[in-house]
Amino acid sequence: MAIDLDPTPGADVAARHLRRAWYQYDWASSAYPSPVLSVFLALYLTGVAESAALAAGQPCADGTALVGCDVGLWGFVFPAGSLWGYLLVVGTCVQLVVMPLVGLVADRTGRWAAVLTVCVVLGAGGTAGLALAGGTAWELGSVMFIIANAGFGAGQVVYNSYLPSVASPEQRDVVTSRGTGLGFVGAGIVLVLQLIVYLGHDGFGLDEGQAVRLCFLLSGLWWAAFAIRPLLALRRLDPVHHPDRATARPSSVIEALTAVGRFPLTLWFLGAFLLFVTGINTINTVAAQYGEREIGIDQGVLVPTLVAIQFVGAAGAILHGRLAQRVGTRSAILISLGCWCVLIGIGYFVPRGAIIGFVALSCAFGVLIGGTIALSRSLFSKMVPPGREAQFFSLYSVVERAGFLLGPLAFAGVAQVTGSYRPAMMAMLVFFLGGAVVLARLPVARATAAAREAAVVPH
């Protein structure tokens, strides 16, 4: 239940102020995932590792950085071209460990804003720190990525935990969709600024590497600067300031996870979410590779398309919120999942060289991605018992991140067996259809009632 901030006529104004602060954190942190992860970091770190291999006398002659282009760390030797794949796995595993701990600390202390501040320092600091990874310093870049990635994932746990406090159950579809939409707009603006720096680097007196490092610094500063207002405003919602919101404080991660297990219908939703978010995360991760390798789209088209997706995604998130108001949250998610399946089928038949077809398909996916995730967050928040927000949302975030491991593994396996990315893309239908079936059978009313009626006894 949203906190009754003020019983006076000014209460609506105060509530709107807090919601805007909550929206702004999405705007702030959005400078990391698309601008850094999706556009610049993979190619840049691979290039830095390749430079290190060349400096060590490796030939790196085939242009892929996969053959005769090895680097090593702590006795492990691997091709520079494989660095990014390994980093994604390590970074995700670190998130899976850190996020439940952050949820535990947030619930035990009741000081969510302080925990979120630490996450911002790590995330924004690590992102800005990537600007130091020049020359052959791929090890420093790798460490900064892992720190930034952990800060981002942990921050999402706390940020999501505020949702029940800034919006009543009836408001959450619209509120979460607006937050997601604003995040897309923020990411789009950051990307435009970064592309101006990157594409016009000669005019700024920078070489290409310096321009990319400046882009990392811009993302870190954007995140830190725009997070200040949310961090200050949201403190008044912390459980420690509201004794009436009794907070159960587990003494260990195991106890926290056991507590989640007492709500089997909430776990039922997480099972459905794991399936379809795996499909969503996979398509989001491999879309550029699919476009380049299977359809023949070059970088000159891919990057502007990614920018366009940010703004299309903002509109899509808002549209999903309105759809949920009309048909209900679960029904809106199921409609969205059906659209995902249709678009995957269309994507299978897009011919090689069809630039317009690829761009149109990408924008259509963009309409769906933010809205599906936003409504999933809203529906889950209604199944979270009061006082357990950070704890439950840590598990939600773990499930979401697990999709980044399972889906790409399935995609790569099918692609390897069939020798084509097209069957691998079609294989993602299993996750979407499976998730839709499990979600359709979930008794949502019982799940929300069980969470609402849960008694939380203060320690």
Backbone phi, then psi, for 78, in 5-degree steps?
Answer: -155, 160
Blockwise average pLDDT, block size 10, the chain, 459 residues: 40 82 96 89 87 87 74 81 82 90 86 95 98 94 96 94 89 91 94 92 93 97 98 86 50 63 90 95 82 81 86 92 94 97 95 92 93 93 84 86 83 83 92 97 93 59
* Any domain includes 95: yes
* Any domain includes 426: yes
* Any domain includes 5: no
Coil, helix or strand for 235?
helix
C-alpha to C-alpha distance for 159 and 230, rounded to whole angstroms: 10
> CATH no. for residue 147?
1.20.1250.20
C-alpha to C-alpha distance for 297 and 250, rounded to whole angstroms: 51
* Any domain includes 6: no
- Residue 47, number of CB atoms within 10 A of its CB: 16
Tokens 């202390």 correspond to 109
Cα dist. 257→63, 101, 133, 250, 406 in Å?
47, 11, 38, 9, 21
Considering the entire predicted model, what is its pTM? 0.85
Q: Which helix (H) or strand (E) holds 124?
A: helix 112-129
Cα dist. 291→154, 241, 342, 352, 358 in Å?
31, 50, 18, 9, 7
* Any domain includes 459: no
**Strands 70-73 and 76-79: what pairing?**
antiparallel
Question: Looking at the 3D structure of the chain, how many domains does it have?
Answer: 1
pLDDT of residue 4: 41
* Any domain includes 457: no
Coil, helix or strand for 398?
helix
pLDDT of residue 197: 94
For residue 38 the two structure tokens come to: 């999706």
* Any domain includes 456: no
C-alpha to C-alpha distance for 415 and 349, rounded to whole angstroms: 16
Q: Which structural domain, as residue segments, surrounds residue 435?
A: 14-451
Please give the DSSP secondary-structure letter assigned to residue 350.
P
